[in-house]
Amino acid sequence: MAEGQERNAAQSGARAGYGPGAALLVVDVQNDFADPKGSLYVRGAENIIGRINERIREAEAAGSPVIYTQDWHPPVTAHFQKDGGIWPVHCVQGTWGAEFHADLLVLGHAPIVRKGSAGEDGYSAFSVRDPVSGDVSRTKLGELLRARGVERVVIAGLATDYCVKESALDAVRLGFRSTVLTDAVRAVDLQPGDGERALAALASAGAELVEG
């Protein structure tokens, strides 16, 4: 990146609240969600990848860690319709659908938190839930953030009404300041308006909604 571009990214990142004590969480920008050929495609998801990449560059320029999440399901899980759940098969470990979208900027040094790898529901980046027993266990994300001195989590990705929402709510519950970048998320909208209702619920819970 040229010197002028680095300066602009740093200035933009400062306005967005990046810097020491903040981290950017990039949620589930995977082929099955972000590519029109994906099994659980989120309409318009591919259109926000460029914005997410800009946020990644801004966070890097401001010295904020960037952390990615991936849905990472086994072939058989009660999370899937065929096995008693509610969702079509998606993001199966090692398949094209589970890979990050080719247009996403993936930093080689950045941690990746995989969720649902033992068949759990993996809506939140911070926790997973056994779809049969309901037992909840934590992912490694909270430890990663605290080890880096993070107090504020800035969230972009997919999908607003599921994994973004649950990740942001968990962040608040765990004592992190939570910010959702409203121009860098997209909703499934199984029911019309689900995405808007998710954002309203986040605001009510104390999360900050920021465009850009």
Report the share of the chain in percent with pLDDT over 70.
92
Give pLDDT, residue 2: 45
Residue found by looking up tokens 């959702």 in the block: 180
Catalytic residue status for 103: no
d(CA 98, CA 91): 4
Residue of 32, 71, 121, 163 with catalytic role:
163
Buried b (16+ CB within 10 A) or exposed e, 77-106: bbbbeeeebebebbbbeebebbbbbeebbb
Residue of 32, 35, 71, 115 with catalytic role:
115
Report the share of the chain in percent with pLDDT over 90.
87
CB 16 within 8 A of CB 210: yes
The answer, yes or no, to whether residue 11 has pLDDT greater than 90, is no
- Residue 4: pLDDT band with limits 50, 70, 90: very low
- Residue 178: pLDDT band with limits 50, 70, 90: very high
Supply the DSSP string of 39-76, one letter for each residue: TT--TTGGGGHHHHHHHHHHHHHHT--EEEEEE-B-SS
Catalytic residue status for 115: yes
Total count of domains within the chain: 1
**CATH at residue 109:** 3.40.50.850
pLDDT digits (tens, 9 = 90+) for 62-91: 999 999 999 999 999 999 999 999 999 999
Q: Which is higher by pLDDT, 26 or 12?
A: 26
Give pLDDT, residue 13: 46
- Residue 20: pLDDT band with limits 50, 70, 90: confident
**pLDDT (average), residues 10-33:** 82
Which positions ≥6 away from 5 have C-beta within 8 Å?
none
Give, in order, the Cα–Cα distances in Å from 189 to each of 16, 41, 159, 194: 27, 11, 9, 5
How confident is the prediction for the chain on average, in pLDDT?
A: 92
- For the question of whether the overall pTM of this predicted structure is more than 0.95, the answer is no
Residue of 28, 35, 121, 161 with catalytic role:
28
Give pLDDT, residue 16: 60
Which positions ≥6 away from 205 have C-beta within 8 Å?
168, 169, 172
Give pLDDT, residue 208: 96
Give pLDDT, residue 10: 45
Catalytic residue status for 91: no
Where in the sequence is the domain holding 11, given as residue range(s)? 3-210
pLDDT digits (tens, 9 = 90+) for 109-136: 999 999 999 999 899 999 999 988 999 9
Q: Residue 187: is the preceding peptide bond cis (ω within 30°)? A: no
